[in-house]
Structure formats: structure tokens, C-alpha cells
Amino acid sequence: MNQVDLVIRGARVVSDHQIIEASVAIDGEIIVAVGHDDLMPSAREVLQADGLFLLPGAIDSHVHFRDPGYPHKETWKTGSAAAACGGVTTVFEMPNTNPPTATIDALNLKLKAAESSYVDFGIHGLLGDDTVGHLEELIDAGVTSFKAFVGNTFGNLPSPSDGALLEGFEKLAPLGIRTVVHAENSSILARRQKRMQAEGRIDALAHLAARPVVAEIEAIGRVLTLAEWTGARVHIAHHSAADSLFLIREAKRRGVDVTVETCPQYLLLNTDHADHLGGILRLNPPIREARHNQPLWDAMMDGTIDMIATDHAPHAPDEKTRANIWECDCGFPGIETQMALMLTEVNRDRASLMDYVRWSSVNPAKAWGIYGTKGVIAPGAHADIAVVDMNKSGILSENELQSISKISPWDGRAVKGYPIHTLLRGRFVMRNGKLVTEAAGWGRSVKGIQAMPKAKPLNTEHYTSAILKTPEGVRLTAEPKR
Ligand SMILES: [Zn+2]
């Protein structure tokens, strides 16, 4: 083999099923060899990584980079810089920007903004009543997947009607494209919020009271019913409750192609933190009582929940710290702190590094059809690597975040286990804990490598597209009796 660009030696390489001592050779954007150091080609650069672990870069299925529309909260450049510094090499970005990613023009604006990205990306287009007729055009123009805001959240995009959601699934099922669903029942939470506002409840816990577990149970049940009927692939965003896990377990047992994410905040935070965090903690679905934390962990371990995402949802500090909970924007940044938080739990023996790689890289790559090129450290794959020091300790600080949104519930939290270098397609985007600013714009869409498994549409004879024409030989109405 000719001389290659980079060999990383001395580290251990982690997959979802093994940890091996191996060197990794990278040429251009691609991993060309993984194996014994004696077998490595000569390289222009060697990274000595003794004692460190090489993880496939994390793939975050759920981020809001707020661009276009809200550049005071975040931009593609700052959000993706946060990703790079958090060991994240691919993100899937949400459509509740302004304009929302519901038209070709809006998509093109977003793709333009994403040209400054440090990391690779997919774009979730909006699935709603107004877009159902244009899903294929959006896919052709660069959308990788869709998002349906069945539950309302920041941006207040109207929830799709059940009819539109069904027709959307009918259109996407034959294409094999997966739809992310924010699964809360909007009618329930809007009514309860209004009732409490009328009575003057403005405390932090009122937000949780407005969005009870039953709103999640009902919405997940409805979405799974429509997905199972049509054969559409769905992805449940930010699963927050213990009580709705049974629906996922039963659906998976029946063969429904549903993937599920949860986020560090649902695993590690609960209402015990609400007193001192107040509006900072406000997000959708809400942070719930402590009794939900462990069942969500258990569901990660048994495969009911497939992956860890962050719902990176930045806002300006003054938008998070108002006295009235209803005036605090929902969400907080998380992409930069996810890996350190989760590695800390690995260091506490709550999961193995292989479990973590399954949640952070392998399963998201499979869900979005990019596994093999991403999600794995193997010859032929993109050289997307988080180099991790499991012994590095520190205190998370919101002031050190790359994100514009310098307000985080994780501020002051002790962690052990950090990404210290991040490589995206062979290039350092974070090195020695510092952003490599020249790498802005190195990120690109994963659309070109996306290959979803074969689609399995069901009940197609009942699809809206199949019922629009009167069948031959069928009478229009019963003939009147004379
Ligand atoms: Zn979100």
C-alpha cells in the first residue's frame, strides 16, 4: 500500500459487539485498514493514542440549528461546531425553522445555511397537511427523512391532522423513508395549559402538569397504529415516559419498523431538579418524575429504545429565565455534552462502551440508511471517529459551549470521559479539545450515501391513491325503485 494520510496507533477500537486493540489507517476521507500495527502502511502523520478509545463518531438524529430564522439562538456554524466538539460527526436537523422546511425554497435556504457546517448532516422535512402533496419533490431536492409535530412545540407548527398523517405514511411507506414523530397529543396539552393559565398557575411544574404521560401514550399508540397499517417506518422522538414503553415493545414484537430515541435529560434529570433550574428545564416532552429514569435505562439496555439523541434545542438565556413558565422557550442545548454525560455513566458501569456505540452510532446509522459508510470503524467506511479519553474528568460549563445558547441544565455537573479529538471523513474538526476553525464547511449532506432497506408497504389497496378513481363497472348509486 502506498503512503496514507494518517495512522492512529495504540488505541482500542470500539464497535457495538467488541473492543479490540488495533491501529487504524486513513487515506483521504476513508478508513483503509484496521488491524495490527505491524500491518499498517506508512503514513504522513501518526496520532499516538495510547490508552484512548476510538468510537465511531456519534450520529445525532435530533437537533435544531435554528437556521434560517433564529440566528440569535443558534446557526449552522455554531451548532455544528458544538457537534464537532461533542464527538458528533453527523446530525439530522429539524424543520421548525423560519421558514419551516416545508417547501423547496425553504429547503434550499437551509441547505445554503448548512454549507458552513463542521459535520455531515441529514435534513428532516416537514410532514404536515400542507406538505403531504409534495413529499417526493422534497425528497428529490435533498430531504433525507421527515418530521411530524404531532405534539406542538417551539415554532408552533400546526400538528398534522390524522388524515394527513395517514396519507403521508401512505406516500412514504413505499419509499421506505422514515418519519420522526413528536408524539404528544396536542389537544390535551393545549387545553390543560389554557386551564392552568386561566387559574394563574405559572410555576415550573405547571409545564409537566400540562403534558401528562397519557398525552404521550395516546399519541404513540395512534402513530404506531397508522404506521403498522401502512407499513411506514417511524421514529419516536425524545421518548420520556416509562408508562408508554409497553406500546413500543408490543409494536416491535409485531414487526412494526419503529425506532426510538431518548435523550440524556430523560435518563439523568427529573423533577427533583426543577426547583433550582426552573424554566431552564422546560422542554417538550417535559422532564418527568424520578420514577421514569431507570425504566428508560432498562429500555435502552433491552433494545426497546434504540438510540441516544439530544434534541439540541438552543435559546437565548433571557428566553429561558422568565418568571412565568409559559414564557420560557422550550428546550436547551445538548449536542456538545451528550457524549461526556453518557461516558460518565459508562464509567459508573451503567452500560458498556459497546452499548454506548450501539446507541450513539450504530442504531442511528441503520435507522437513516447510512450504516456501513457511517456508524462503524472498518475499511471502506468514512473516517468519522471520536477519540475518547475515559479517564479525563471535568466539570461541564455552559460558558464554554460552542453553542450560542450559553444556558444548560448540565452546568456545573461533574463528568468523567471526554471526546478529545473528532475526525470527520479523515479531517480533524476538533483536536485536543479545541474546534478546528478551518474545518467550517467540511460537512456535507448524507443524502448521497443514504440507502434505506427495501420498503414494505402494507394495505396498499386502501391507500388514498388507490381509492380516488371509481372502479370500472361499479354503479354510481343504487338505481331508484320505480
Ligand atoms: Zn426537538
- Residue 318: CATH number of its domain: 3.20.20.140
Structural domain includes residue 263: yes
Residues measured by CB to lie within 5 Å of ligand 1, the ion: 311
CA 410 to CA 336: how far, in whole Å? 11
How far away, in angstroms, is 63 Cα from ligand 1 center? Answer: 6
Structural domain includes residue 454: no
What CATH number is attached to the domain comprising 47? 2.30.40.10
Structural domain includes residue 216: yes
Query: How confident is the model at residue 2, as a pLDDT?
Result: 86
Same structural domain for residues 19 and 110?
Answer: no
Diameter over CA atoms, the chain: 96
Structural domain includes residue 472: no
Structural domain includes residue 267: yes
How far away, in angstroms, is 73 Cα from ligand 1 center? Answer: 14
pLDDT band at 332 (very low <50, low <70, confident <90, very high): very high
Residue at a domain's end among 51, 67, 82: 51
Same structural domain for residues 36 and 181?
Answer: no
Same structural domain for residues 197 and 317?
Answer: yes
pLDDT band at 1 (very low <50, low <70, confident <90, very high): low
Same structural domain for residues 147 and 33?
Answer: no
The DSSP secondary-structure symbol of 240 reads -
How far away, in angstroms, is 426 Cα from ligand 1 center? Answer: 30
How far away, in angstroms, is 265 Cα from ligand 1 center? Answer: 13
Same structural domain for residues 34 and 130?
Answer: no
CA 273 to CA 277: how far, in whole Å? 6
Structural domain includes residue 474: no
Q: Which of 4-13, 340-349, 394-403, 473-482 has the lowest mean pLDDT?
A: 473-482
Q: Taking phi first (over 0 means left), then psi (-120 to 50 degrees means alpha), and beta for anything else, what does residue 179 get?
A: beta
Structural domain includes residue 465: no
pLDDT band at 11 (very low <50, low <70, confident <90, very high): very high
Same structural domain for residues 189 and 335?
Answer: yes
User: Which helix (H) or strand (E) element contains residue 167?
Assistant: helix 162-172
Same structural domain for residues 97 and 187?
Answer: yes
Residue at a domain's end among 51, 68, 86: 51
Same structural domain for residues 8 and 122?
Answer: no
The β-bridge partners of 181 are: 148, 236
How far away, in angstroms, is 255 Cα from ligand 1 center? Answer: 26
The DSSP secondary-structure symbol of 305 reads S
Same structural domain for residues 39 and 87?
Answer: no
Domain region containing 315 = 57-373+390-412
Q: Cell numbers for 249, please give them.
A: 415493545
Number of separate domains in the chain: 2
Stretch 306-328: mean pLDDT: 96
pLDDT band at 156 (very low <50, low <70, confident <90, very high): confident
How far away, in angstroms, is 128 Cα from ligand 1 center? Answer: 16
Same structural domain for residues 92 and 179?
Answer: yes
How far away, in angstroms, is 374 Cα from ligand 1 center? Answer: 23
Structural domain includes residue 182: yes
Same structural domain for residues 169 and 42?
Answer: no
Same structural domain for residues 143 and 279?
Answer: yes
How far away, in angstroms, is 157 Cα from ligand 1 center? Answer: 12
Threshold 0.95, pTM exceeds: yes
Side by side, the strands of the sheet bearing 12-14 are 19-21, 12-14, 53-56, 385-395, 414-424, 427-431, 434-435
Q: Check whether 218 has a pLDDT greater than 80.
A: yes
How far away, in angstroms, is 261 Cα from ligand 1 center? Answer: 11
Stretch 210-224: mean pLDDT: 97
pLDDT band at 274 (very low <50, low <70, confident <90, very high): confident
How far away, in angstroms, is 147 Cα from ligand 1 center? Answer: 10
How far away, in angstroms, is 183 Cα from ligand 1 center? Answer: 11
Query: How confident is the model at residue 265, as a pLDDT?
Result: 98
